Chain A
């Protein structure tokens, strides 16, 4: 299963970079999101995957009695997901704003510093 997951991560990275190389700003944002998803999955995979044993201590005990999934990568990914949402939201609004001002979302047409002139 790990092999399949690794390939999937590669696909997400490739798709992310490919979209970032396009000229549309919207595609750029989608590319960044896909890349972020790929990175999250990569961290997840590298923390080793286990089925059916979430890192929650059983009701009646004060420590784990049996094997459990590594909680650390999960904490990291949770932070990453939330932060990347902040980034995405800001970027989406910014694209909207840029379009309002310069009337394009083609990156190549925004190449000069004086957009208004």
Chain B
């Protein structure tokens, strides 16, 4: 099974990177890959239907509990057959549909990646690897939706789909980790035995909510459904494969897979019934207002997904059988309808249902497939759709509470789904053929055969339901934890109440189809309500979020040095100031240990203070530089008084040099600028004084603390003994820390080189600028 999953990825890697050398010649050949896989999985059907569960385990990252454990049971088998079977038809169809497309190979690469990921998803027994495959399906869906990357609408839809399903993936990860933590294992099959323990744990509700979030986003449940109609921007084969038959059912798969672990609590059932119920009705009503064939199909797909969630929510044996049958039913007829839509689009160039009619005259086989799919979606006997619909009514009627309400909801939805199926499968082919379509011809057999095969299959299964009953549906019901052996599918139940409901549905559907005509006017009317649609709300939210973050970024990163400095200083003052005056070691000054003030010191301080004040308020550059020089010399005097002769000498020479440099270099600059107004200056003064006070307080606080002189004492003791020098400061610099001083010299050299080259630099551009002025 590992090989089966990897085949898709290998195909993908091969085609994406090497495909351009084959220029689409491999298209038909690559369809053999899904066919081979289909046959491979089909070979398991006897073993699985006899109750066997086939497993394979490959250790990947055992330390994280992340293993590639594959399990093939009834549920997985059904999905693998859908993925590979419909995959095969879609691969073949695409060869003709996108014939000659520049990036055909890449397209197949994405499809292959998706197929591998989807197989991995439905085969994984390990929650973490399941999450990985789940994400891979979202990513391949993103690439496929955005395949026409030159169209802006395509790109937007791709991003929207990725945003919705990606956030669902995030919820799945959170749910998986939480569940793994509670259960103590990531193996789903081991969790089944722990179901009661998990249901009683404190995190149960949270786990279920997280998994629901994942399933609802992936399977386009209300209010996350809006990405799916947008995803119809993808080429039609993608819509067929990912957005109707397989990927969107991943959420359904997740719910079914966890029914035995987390299901049959009231919270689980009620939430699913409500969400599924709203989705199926809401989306079905929307189909009435669409004129784009793919739009109609997208909303009816959402509606059926809602129905599936609803059935899982009912949770009875009948309901799960109905869900299983409906997955097959829907995959068969909806894929057919999508493929037909693709053919119509390909041959006539339009998907507008109001413009299409009479096409049966030019493409009869396609029309037959459309008719079969439409009556299957309508649930008219003897198609498999009829079987599914009967089961749904049996399930809703079998409920103890609310049976009437649920049944009415199901009937209303089915009437609308019937309408959608007829619009997509029958309407384009009936009526008078417009003149402009007279030259339309049949597409290649690669395109019309797949829908015909699917449609005929739907009819055959309807007539002989036993074909899917024992091999597929029973094992599926078994694997979700109910007794599957009691199930018996048959087309004819006799004249009973359910049959009456079916008749009612058909009557209602036909009435609706003949009375209600889709038109652009109606589509525009409903689009006026878009402002309260979840899509608009989400887009509004994301736009608001984006403008907020750009506002925030511009506020902090505004490119003005002084704002950065202000922010840093204020932050420092508030934070350090707070910790200085709070807690046990709050600030205090001990004046006893301090030395006395003498006259000279006070005078020096006074001079220095005045010099600093002069620098700050100086109106000329020269004045400021002179003031700065005075400050330096005053510091120099302080060093002399406090027994630091070396410092005094250094400070004196450096300060002199700086002043000279300033005066020499800056003589050519314009007038000293003073551009800020009074308010700015007062604000800046406040900030600066805050910092000054803080630094003074810290200095005072520190000199109250005892000082550790160990290192200094070592240098002082050993200056003469080890280094034969009497001036300890010099000895430290040139001997003990000689390497550091060497580095310092290197730094100064680099600075000197920089200064020299900047002075000598003559750029042509600069010269020009100077000449212009």
CB distance from A24 to the nearest CB of B (A): 5
Which chain A residue lies CB-closest to B770? A100
- CB pair A46 B755 closer than 8 Å: no
- For the residues of B in contact with A, the DSSP-based class is helix
Query: Bound complex: CA of A82 vs CA of B185, how far in Å?
Result: 64
Indicate if the CB atoms of B716 and A103 lie closer than 8 Å. Answer: no
B662 touches A23 (CB 8 A): no
Residues 89-110 of chain A, each 1 if its beta carbon lies under 8 Å from chain B, else 0: 1101111110111010111100
Tell whether A3 pairs with B591 under 8 Å between CB atoms, given A92-B661, A93-B758.
Answer: yes
Q: With A and B bound together, what is the CA distance between A4 and B244 in angstroms? A: 81
The answer to whether A11 touches B699 (Cβ under 8 A) is no
CA A96 to CA B661, docked complex, whole Å: 11
Cβ–Cβ contact A93 & B692, under 8 A: no
| Cβ contacts under 8 Å, A63 to chain B | 716-717, 720-721
**A74-B729 in contact given A41-B638, A54-B644, A82-B654 (Cβ < 8 Å):** yes
Q: Give the Cβ gap from A64 to chain B, nearest Cβ, in Å.
A: 6
Structural contact, B666 and A26, CB atoms closer than 8 A? yes
**Bound complex: CA A11 to CA B635 (Å):** 13
Tell me if B733 counts as interface (CB < 8 A to partner A). yes
Contact A33 B643, CB 8 Å, known A19-B616, A21-B562: no
CA–CA, A2 to B668, complex, Å?
42
**Please, which residues of chain B bring their CB within 8 A of the CB of A58?**
726
- In the complex, what distance in Å separates the CA atom of A94 from the CA atom of B711? 39
Tell me the residues in window 737-773 of chain B with beta carbons closer than 8 Å to chain A beta carbons: 737, 740-741, 744, 747-748, 751-752, 754-755, 758-759, 761, 763, 765-766, 769-770, 773
B594 and A2 form a contact (CB under 8 A)? yes
Q: Known: A40-B635, A82-B650, A86-B748. Contact between A33 and B560, CB under 8 A? A: no
- Tell me the A16-75 residues at the B interface (CB within 8 Å): 16-24, 26-28, 30, 33-34, 37-38, 40-42, 44-59, 62-64, 68-72, 74-75
The interface residues of chain B lying within 8 Å CB-to-CB of A107 are 560-562
Q: Give every chain A residue within 8 A of B715 (Cβ-Cβ).
A: 71-72
Does B688 touch A at the CB level, under 8 Å? Answer: yes
Known A69-B643, A79-B740; judge A19-B615 contact (CB<8 A).
yes
Residues of chain A with a CB closer than 8 A to B755's CB:
89-90, 93
Residues of chain B contacted by A49 (CB below 8 angstroms):
595, 642
Cα A92 to Cα B269 with chains together (Å):
75
Q: Is the CB of B605 within 8 A of A8?
A: yes
Contact B754 A90, beta carbon cutoff 8 Å? yes
Which residues of the other chain, A, contact B719 by a CB distance below 8 angstroms? 57
Chain A nearest CB, measured from B742 CB (Å):
12
CB neighbours (8 Å) of B717 from chain A are 63-64
Q: Which of B605, B688, B726, B773 contacts A21 (CB 8 A)?
A: B688
Measured CB to CB, the nearest residue on chain B to A57 is B726
Nearest CB in chain B: distance from A76 CB, A = 9
> In residues 616-648 of chain B, which contact A (Cβ within 8 Å)?
616, 621, 624-625, 628, 631-632, 635, 638-639, 641-647
Residue contact A48 to B703, C-beta cutoff 8 Å: yes
- Among B595, B608, B616, B685, contact of A2 (Cβ-Cβ < 8 Å): B595
Q: B733 touching A51 by the CB < 8 A rule?
A: no
**Residue B483, interface by CB 8 Å:** no
Per a CB cutoff under 8 Å, which of A17, A55, A87 touches B727? A55
Please give, as numbers and ranges, the residues of chain B lying within 8 Å of A94 by CB-CB distance.
758
- Most chain A C-beta atoms within 10 Å of own C-beta, residue among B565, B688, B719, B751: B688
A10 to B699, CA, bound (A): 9
Interface check B529, CB cutoff 8 A = no
**Is B675 at the interface (CB under 8 A from chain A)?**
yes
Q: Does B494 contact A (CB under 8 A)?
A: no
Q: State the Cβ distance, A25 to closest chain B Cβ, in Å.
A: 9
Q: Among A13, A41, A77, A99, find the residue whose CB has the most chain B CB atoms closer than 10 A.
A: A13
Are B699 and A9 neighbours in the complex by a CB distance under 8 Å? yes
Chain B residue at minimal CB-CB distance from A94: B758
Given known A34-B631, A71-B716, contact A89–B666 (CB-CB < 8 A): no
Q: Bound complex: CA of A46 vs CA of B642, how far in Å?
A: 13
Instruction: Say whether B525 faces chain A, with CB atoms less than 8 Å apart.
Output: no
Q: Cα distance A33–B659 when bound, in Å? A: 11
Q: Which residues of B are found within 8 Å of A78, using beta-carbon distances?
A: 646-647, 650, 729, 733
Q: Distance in Å from the Cβ of A65 to the closest Cβ of chain B?
A: 11
- Minimal beta-carbon separation of B43 from chain A (angstroms): 65
Contact for A81 among B559, B650, B702, B763, CB less than 8 A: B650
Complex interface: chain A residues within 8 A of B650 (CB): 78, 81-82
CA distance A8 to B197 in the complex (A): 70
Question: A48-B707, A93-B758 are known contacts. Are A71 and B732 too (CB-CB below 8 A)?
Answer: yes
**Cβ of B212 to closest chain A Cβ, rounded Å:** 49
Contact B644–A44 (Cβ < 8 Å): yes
Shortest distance between the CB of A106 and any CB in chain B (Å) = 6
A109 to B559, CA, bound (A): 11
- CA separation between A14 and B612, bound complex, in Å? 10
Alpha-carbon distance between A89 and B709 when the two chains are bound, in angstroms: 35
Q: Which residue of B lies closest to A18 (CB)?
A: B688
Q: How far is the CB of B355 from chain A (nearest CB, A)?
A: 53
What separation, in Å, do the CA atoms of A86 and B746 have in the docked complex? 11
User: Are the C-beta atoms of B732 and A72 separated by less than 8 Å?
Assistant: yes
Cα of A41 to Cα of B595 in the assembled complex, Å: 17
In the complex, the answer to whether B673 meets A23 with C-beta atoms within 8 Å is: yes
Q: Which of B591, B644, B728, B766 is close to A101, meaning CB atoms less than 8 Å apart?
A: B766
Whether B688 contacts A51 by the Cβ 8 Å rule is no
Segment from B406-414, B459-467, B596-604 that makes contact with A: B596-604
Those of B658-686 within 8 Å (CB) of chain A: 658, 661-662, 665-666, 668-670, 672-676, 684-685
Report the minimal beta-carbon distance from A75 to chain B, rounded to whole angstroms.
4
CB distance from A97 to the nearest CB of B (A): 5
Mask of B683-698 contacts with A, CB within 8 angstroms, 1/0: 0110111011111100
Of B561, B602, B638, B676, chain A has the most CB atoms within 10 Å of the CB of B561
A4 near B687 (CB under 8 angstroms)?
no
Kindly list chain B residues whose C-beta atoms are within 8 Å of the C-beta of A48. Answer: 703, 707
A14-B691, A34-B612 known; A79-B744 Cβ under 8 A: yes
Q: Which residue of chain A has the shortest Cβ distance to B601 in the bound complex?
A: A1
Shortest distance from the beta carbon of B695 to any chain A beta carbon, whole Å: 5
Most chain B CB within a 10 A radius of its CB, from A1, A45, A50, A108: A1
**Chain B: minimal CB distance from A105 (Å):** 6
Chain B residues with CB under 8 Å of A16's CB are 688
Neighbour of A75 across the interface among B685, B689, B733, CB < 8 A: B733
The yes or no answer to B585 lying at the interface (CB within 8 A) is no
Q: A55-B729, A107-B560 are in contact. Are A72 and B712 (CB under 8 A)?
A: yes
Please tell me if the beta carbons of B761 and A89 are within 8 angstroms of each other in the complex: no
* Residue with the highest number of chain A CB atoms closer than 10 Å, among B632, B729, B748, B759: B729
Can you name the residue of chain B whose Cβ is closest to the Cβ of A76?
B732
CB of A51 within 8 A of CB of B665, answer: no
Chain A residues lying within 8 Å of B728, measured Cβ to Cβ, are 55-57, 68, 71
> Given the complex, which residues of A lie within 8 Å of B608, measured CB to CB?
8
Highest count of chain A CB atoms <10 Å: which of B613, B643, B726: B643
17 more CB-based (< 8 A) A-B contacts, given A10-B692, A107-B562 = A3-B589, A10-B694, A14-B689, A15-B615, A18-B685, A21-B684, A44-B639, A50-B642, A50-B643, A55-B728, A89-B658, A89-B755, A92-B665, A93-B754, A94-B758, A101-B763, A105-B669
Measured CB to CB, the residues of A under 8 A from B are 1-24, 26-28, 30, 33-34, 37-38, 40-42, 44-59, 62-64, 68-72, 74-75, 77-79, 81-83, 85-90, 92-97, 99-101, 103, 105-108, 111, 116
Q: Which 5 A-B pairs have the closest CB atoms?
A: A14-B692, A10-B696, A86-B751, A10-B692, A18-B688
8 A-B pairs within 8 Å (CB atoms) are namely: A4-B597, A14-B688, A33-B628, A68-B728, A77-B644, A83-B748, A96-B666, A105-B669
